[in-house]
Amino acid sequence: MRKKLCSLALAAALLLAAAPHTRAAEGPLPDLGCTSAILIEKETGTVLAQLDPDRPLEPASVTKVMTLLLIMEALDSGRLALDEPVTVSANAAGMGGSQVYLKEGEQMPVQEMLKCVTVVSANDCAVALAEHLAGSETAFVDQMNQRAAELGMDKTNFVNCTGLPAPGHLTTARDISLMSRALLLEHPDIRAYTTIWMDSIRDGAFGLTNTNRLIRFYPGATGLKTGSTKGALYCMSASAERDGMELIAVVMKSPTTAQRFEDAKTLLDYGFANFALVNVWPDDPLPPVDVLLGQQAQVQPVLEDTCRLLVGKGERDQVETELVLAPNVEAPVENGQILGRLEVSVAGEPRDAINIIASQQVDRLTVPGIFNKMMQKFLLGR
């Protein structure tokens, strides 16, 4: 049964403030040294803290979160295979900045290039993969911007797939959180690469050490991507998971690399200290619902989805459910037909409602069937 991403409009109203910082009732927002930042919970997408999150800024190599998203989508759809060889073009080999020094004509499997992009932010591998997948980096960038629009990243414009400085190459902390969430939520296998601390390529001849030092030093770190240029300063999208809850902290334009990591840790610590995901279930088993004029006398109701609710840690014992269920329903009953709802409240405030549906189809009795049923009742009653 798929997880339900609960509707948290009321929760967001409690958690968000009109000021640039988002404050929660659990405690004060931590001080940050960066220009822009946001903290979200991955499963629900709820914003837990923010600092001027919609300011357009240069993302540097955090751009590669979108590059990785498109690559993972191609892998999952079968358009790309991990062992597929990629031939390096002169253009890809000529990329500056972070690289693994690919040579024109060199071949490397997708899996190795993917590792290089995630671990050491290799610009040459990013361009080689983009060209291999879309035919050219320009065509790949068009796909990046199209995907950004689909995700609601309305303040983002990508000019390249690497994050190397380019006029007009801008995004925001909020937009980065959207693509980071899509990558982690829809393609959890990316963690096999983003959690690598040290590795190598070319049969051990070239060593790799993750640019994201949180992978080594922050408990529960799962990724995601760092970036730095003269204009962007120090940026990152950092993710970590504890007690079944994964958070994403985006930091933009920190003055130093140390401050970037400190800001990310501060945001993640704040989220883990103040929030939790709780599973919501009915207090008692759902009773069967009588079916009038049905070929079966009853139908078993079930929850349409499971629900994990984001709450402040002080609210975990204040989650309550109320069952609203029809006493009976007239046939025919469709499989999945709504029979009621489970209303969820926190500290007396409505927070969510989960549909309760029929677990199977129940056909209506025919006229002969109704007659036979009446006769059976008559004979049994004698």
- What would the pLDDT profile of 30-68 be if each residue is shown by its tens digit? 789 999 999 999 999 999 999 999 999 999 999 999 999
- Is 61 a known active-site residue? yes
Of the two residues 103 and 380, the one the predictor is more confident about is: 103
Among 98, 121, 180, 228, the active-site one is: 121
pTM, two decimal places: 0.85
Mean pLDDT score, 93-102: 95
The confidence score (pLDDT) of residue 14 equals 28
Q: Indicate the burial class of 279 (C-beta count within 10 angstroms; 0-12, 13-18, 19 or more).
A: exposed
What would the mean pLDDT of 223-231 be, rounded to a whole number? 97
| 64 tagged catalytic | yes
Q: Please check the confidence at residue 5 and state whether its pLDDT lies above 50.
A: no
pLDDT of residue 174: 98
pLDDT of residue 20: 32
Q: Which residue has the tokens 């900045």?
A: 97
Higher pLDDT, 279 or 56: 56
Please report which confidence band the pLDDT of residue 307 belongs to, taking 50, 70 and 90 as the band edges. Answer: confident
**Which among 218, 217, 200 is positioned nearest to 209, based on CA atoms?**
200
Active-site residue among 4, 36, 42, 64? 64
Lowest mean pLDDT among 119-128, 164-173, 185-194, 341-350: 341-350
Instruction: Judge whether residue 290 has pLDDT over 50.
Output: yes
Query: Is the pLDDT reported for residue 249 higher than 90?
Result: yes
**pLDDT reading at 98 higher than 50:** yes
Binned at pLDDT 50, 70 and 90, residue 346 comes out as very high
286, two tokens: 């759902």
Q: What is the pLDDT of residue 1?
A: 29
Whether the predicted pLDDT of 11 surpasses 60: no
Q: Is 228 a catalytic residue?
A: no
- Of 61, 98, 237, 239, the catalytic one is 61
